[in-house]
């Protein structure tokens, strides 16, 4: 039997410390009913065709890949000067780089995820027509869940298929390369387009 993983302690207070751990099933349990509700709301109100689903699904997943890249590159790797902001960046992501194999801290807890999604929703609401917004958000959140579980798998599963092997090797290079690069987790697209491939 393998040695049990010892997590980096973040808070002296046991209750606060307990809030930093999350079971990997929680994002799926939390977000799946919301995604299904958005699809149902979109269908009930607008009765979109299959073509509309395909088009907006493609748009939403493409937007997700850019959002994932931008959050990872510019927010989670933000070079802060303030000690408070440095601490926040560490809690959000720096900890993961110090302890990438901590399986209880690999997926995003619902509270910060809801805060981020709420801000993004308000931004999307400014540019997407109301008749497509629910459909867009459903696919966008599917992209988010895919990212969360691809990220979890890259650290905890062998990923034996060709795509899985590629994504795992790609993400681990982000962790162990000495220069900042490879911010995409579910897709390397924006790393290629924005020249952060290595």
Residue 135 lies inside a defined structural domain of this protein: yes
How far is residue 123's CA from residue 114's CA, in Å, rounded to a whole number?
14
Residue 81 lies inside a defined structural domain of this protein: yes
Residue 198 lies inside a defined structural domain of this protein: no
pLDDT tens digits, one per residue of 60-113: 999 999 999 999 999 998 888 899 888 888 887 888 888 888 878 888 888 889
Residue 157 lies inside a defined structural domain of this protein: yes
Give the chain's domain count: 1
Residue 167 belongs to domain spanning? 26-98+128-193
pLDDT tens digits, one per residue of 146-191: 999 999 999 988 888 999 999 999 998 998 877 789 999 999 999 9
pLDDT score of 196: 94
Mean residue pLDDT of the chain comes to: 91
Residue 182 lies inside a defined structural domain of this protein: yes
How far is residue 45's CA from residue 94's CA, in Å, rounded to a whole number?
43
Q: pLDDT band at 3, cuts 50/70/90?
A: low
pLDDT tens digits, one per residue of 21-75: 899 999 999 999 999 999 999 999 999 999 999 999 999 999 999 999 999 999 9
Residue 8 lies inside a defined structural domain of this protein: no
CA distances from 175 to 10, 78, 185, 190 (A): 21, 16, 11, 18
Residues 196, 182 contacting (CB under 8 angstroms): yes
How far is residue 49's CA from residue 192's CA, in Å, rounded to a whole number?
33
How far is residue 157's CA from residue 2's CA, in Å, rounded to a whole number?
15
Residue 165 lies inside a defined structural domain of this protein: yes
CA distances from 176 to 110, 138, 169 (A): 28, 34, 10
**pTM recorded for the entire structure:** 0.91
Residue 118 lies inside a defined structural domain of this protein: no
How far is residue 35's CA from residue 168's CA, in Å, rounded to a whole number?
27
How far is residue 175's CA from residue 182's CA, in Å, rounded to a whole number?
9
Residues 173, 196 contacting (CB under 8 angstroms): no
How far is residue 104's CA from residue 96's CA, in Å, rounded to a whole number?
11
How far is residue 170's CA from residue 185's CA, in Å, rounded to a whole number?
8
CA distances from 102 to 71, 81, 97 (A): 21, 27, 10
């Amino acid at each position: 039997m393998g040695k049990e993983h010892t997590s980096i302690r973040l808070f002296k207070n046991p209750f606060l410390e307990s809030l930093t751990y999350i079971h990997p099933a929680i994002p799926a349990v939390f977000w799946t009913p919301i995604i299904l509700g958005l699809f149902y709301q979109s269908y009930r109100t607008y009765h979109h065709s299959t073509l509309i689903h395909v088009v907006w699904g493609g748009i939403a997943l493409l937007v997700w890949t850019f959002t994932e890249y931008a959050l990872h590159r510019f927010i989670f790797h933000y070079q802060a000067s303030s000690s408070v902001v440095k601490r926040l960046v560490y809690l959000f992501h720096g900890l993961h780089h110090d302890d990438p194999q901590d399986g209880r801290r690999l997926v995003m807890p619902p509270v910060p995820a809801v805060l981020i999604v709420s801000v993004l929703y308000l931004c999307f609401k400014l540019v997407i027509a109301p008749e497509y917004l629910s459909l867009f958000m459903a696919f966008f959140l599917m992209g988010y869940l895919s990212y969360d579980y691809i990220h979890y798998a890259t650290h905890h599963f062998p990923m034996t298929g060709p795509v899985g092997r590629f994504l795992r090797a790609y993400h681990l290079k982000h962790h162990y390369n000495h220069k900042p690069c490879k911010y995409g987790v579910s897709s390397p697209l924006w790393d290629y387009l924005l020249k952060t491939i290595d």
